[in-house]
């Protein structure tokens, strides 16, 4: 497909926006719905200025952390602070990549841990957890005094949008996203400088750069072929740039024909063009996230769609002079609805407190500690990522990727988008849109029109499925 595939005409023919979604995971269908589990809970402690959540000071606390790009040391360090505050408490800590495999039976059996970092490829479906009434409302923690300044509530110390991300319906907050993630197109500034390239602001410029790179034996792009739900990290904000925020809202809301919107179609066709022209690193469809990141840090590809956890996750293979950087996605042309710099940034690394946990207030208290300056600064230094606390970087020398993330946020200003599909309908986002559609298209086994048609069908099926709890932007 040539670069003149009528992208501009497509946008000019804008029709009514529509949307898509697919069935959410139903692994919790056997869970007791609405069971408050009070019979299993420890007795609450005495509420004091130092213990605003009335934590039982001698009760055990069980924490399970996703062992991914951020590792789990930051959580262990926060647990040390918890132990200092409650020396009689025994803290049980475990880390795993198999969140759903290990915790699904415990949810079904009514014996979940007290605090869970629900992340990774085996992330439990948040929409299902909320819909089945399996989570504690975190409002008490958010309304408690912050660790550092008792005159401020925890919620008042958080970055904009973090509280809202944890809401599904009503004012209850079911999830606390601990990391603050910048999604986009990641690259090596050193590699661009070496070849005299500039980051492309339009898709024609992107194709020109990729063509030049191909002549030099360098691939334009790679991505996590085995986890192609990474592709939307740069595709979704590009869709918003081209067609406006309402395009993503329609997708999130499962509106009819959202995936047939001209802006969505244009972006999917643009990415297909990368594959069709041979600008994707050979073998990418068979690579997992670590393997693709390694190829990228080795300089075999210029661009990779990713989140700001990549700097820490790829640290072992990243050359010292790599100068990791992130940019908002390229647009199509001057007809785009939003300016260059439009980027996806939002809370990441979702923490939840199960409703049937034995010590839910202990889980919330650990979260309160984690949202203090000491833990936030420790997180920034350890894993090169921001936290959802609005601060934590004072006096810290930021590594290149994190500094670039800060710069990208500053450049975006108000042009920050936050698609919710990956929170509201996890299975749809990962298994259907990512693996069954976009992954197949980018591997050359599906054309754009078929990909769009398939995604729309997945979305329509979800919209019609009464067993799937629905959420909407209001």
pLDDT digits (tens, 9 = 90+) for 158-204: 988 899 999 987 899 999 999 999 999 999 999 999 999 999 999 99
Q: Name the residue among 348, 349, 329, 470 with its Cα closest to residue 418.
A: 348
Q: Report yes or no: 456 and 257 within 8 Å, Cβ to Cβ.
A: yes
Judge whether residue 26 has pLDDT over 50: no
Judge whether residue 155 has pLDDT over 60: yes
**How many C-beta atoms lie closer than 10 Å to residue 200's C-beta?**
21
How many residues belong to the chain?
474
C-alpha to C-alpha distances, 338 to 118, 137, 159, 238, nearest whole angstrom = 33, 35, 23, 9
Judge whether residue 109 has pLDDT over 90: yes
Which parts of 110-231 fold into alpha helices (H)?
126-131, 139-143, 162-165, 189-195, 203-215
- Give CA angle at 119 (117, 125), nearest 5°: 105
Q: Record the tokens describing residue 384, joined without a space.
A: 């090169």
Q: Report yes or no: 237 and 249 within 8 Å, Cβ to Cβ.
A: no
121 pLDDT band (50/70/90 cuts)? confident
Judge whether residue 35 has pLDDT over 60: no
Domains of the chain, each with CATH number or no CATH: 7-23+182-345+419-464 (3.40.190.10), 38-180+347-397 (3.40.190.10)
pLDDT digits (tens, 9 = 90+) for 306-342: 999 999 899 999 999 999 999 999 999 999 999 999 9
How crowded is the C-beta side of 431, counted as CA atoms within 13 Å?
15
Per-residue model confidence (pLDDT) at position 169? 79
Q: Name the residue among 410, 313, 406, 379 with its Cα closest to residue 178.
A: 379
């Amino acid at each position: 497909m040539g670069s003149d595939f009528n992208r501009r005409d497509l946008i000019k023919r804008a029709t009514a926006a529509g949307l898509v979604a697919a069935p959410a995971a139903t692994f919790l269908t056997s869970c007791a719905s609405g069971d408050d589990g009070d019979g299993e809970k420890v007795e609450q402690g005495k509420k004091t200025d130092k213990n605003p959540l009335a934590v039982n000071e001698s009760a055990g606390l069980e924490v399970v952390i996703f062992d991914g790009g951020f590792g789990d040391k930051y959580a262990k360090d926060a647990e040390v602070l918890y132990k200092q505050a409650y020396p009689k408490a025994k803290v049980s800590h475990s880390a795993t990549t198999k969140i759903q495999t290990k915790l699904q039976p415990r949810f079904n059996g009514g014996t979940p841990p007290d605090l869970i970092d629900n992340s990774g490829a085996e992330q439990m479906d948040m929409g299902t957890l909320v819909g089945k009434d399996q989570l504690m409302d975190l409002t008490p923690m958010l309304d408690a005094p912050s660790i550092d300044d008792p005159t401020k509530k925890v919620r008042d110390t958080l970055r904009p949008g973090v509280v809202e991300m944890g809401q599904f319906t009503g004012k209850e907050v079911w999830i606390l996203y601990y990391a603050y993630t910048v999604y986009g197109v990641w690259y090596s500034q050193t590699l661009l400088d070496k070849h005299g390239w500039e980051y492309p602001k339009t898709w024609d410029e992107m194709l020109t750069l990729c063509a030049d790179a191909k002549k030099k034996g360098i691939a334009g792009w790679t991505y996590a072929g085995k986890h192609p739900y990474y592709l939307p990290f740069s595709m979704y904000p590009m869709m918003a740039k081209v067609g406006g925020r309402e395009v993503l809202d329609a997708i999130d809301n499962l509106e009819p024909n959202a995936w047939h919107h001209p802006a969505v179609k244009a972006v999917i066709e643009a990415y297909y063009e990368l594959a069709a022209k041979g600008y994707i690193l050979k073998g990418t469809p068979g690579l997992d996230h670590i393997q693709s990141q390694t190829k990228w840090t080795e300089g075999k590809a210029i661009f990779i769609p990713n989140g700001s956890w990549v700097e820490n996750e790829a640290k072992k293979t990243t050359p010292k002079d790599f100068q990791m950087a992130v940019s908002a996605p390229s647009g199509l042309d001057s007809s785009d609805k939003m300016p260059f710099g439009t980027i996806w940034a939002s809370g990441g690394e979702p923490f939840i407190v199960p409703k049937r946990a034995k010590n839910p207030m202990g889980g919330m208290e650990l979260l309160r500690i984690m949202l203090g300056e000491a833990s936030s600064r420790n997180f920034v230094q350890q894993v090169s990522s921001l936290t959802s606390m609005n601060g934590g970087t004072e006096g810290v020398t930021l590594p290149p990727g994190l500094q670039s993330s800060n710069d990208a946020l500053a450049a975006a200003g108000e042009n920050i988008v936050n698609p919710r599909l990956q929170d509201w309908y996890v299975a749809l986002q990962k298994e259907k849109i990512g693996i069954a559609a976009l992954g197949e298209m980018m591997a050359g086994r599906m054309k754009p029109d078929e990909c769009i048609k398939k995604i729309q069908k997945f979305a329509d099926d979800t919209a019609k499925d009464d067993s799937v709890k629905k959420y909407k932007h209001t």
